[in-house]
Amino acid sequence: MKRLAVETEDHPLEYGRFEGTIPKGQYGSGDVKIWDKGSYDLIVWQENKLEFIIKGDKLEGRYVLIKLKKAKEKEWLIIKATDSDG
């Protein structure tokens, strides 16, 4: 699995428990639903590469975020790693 991941600004921790509707016309308007929750273990933190293990209720496994040379400033490629990946 390879997908585009876009970096966003930091949010207050309290936002991690919010579900509901943000009214039209306000920043981030629309329905908000928590899709998954859990923890992660960081394996690698480099300028252009992050590798971590996700331990969520729905999502689990090792993932890698890679900053591509031709990508926009806040765009990363997220890859689901396999056991054969180094």
Q: Where are the beta strands (DSSP E) in 26-84?
A: 30-32, 38-46, 49-56, 60-66, 75-80
Average pLDDT over residues 17-33: 95
The per-residue pLDDT for range 27-51, each reduced to its tens digit, is 889 999 999 999 999 999 999 999 9
67 pLDDT band, cuts 50/70/90, is very high
Contact 47, 66 (CB under 8 A): no
Bridge partners for 63 per DSSP: 52, 80
The predicted pLDDT at position 85 comes to 59
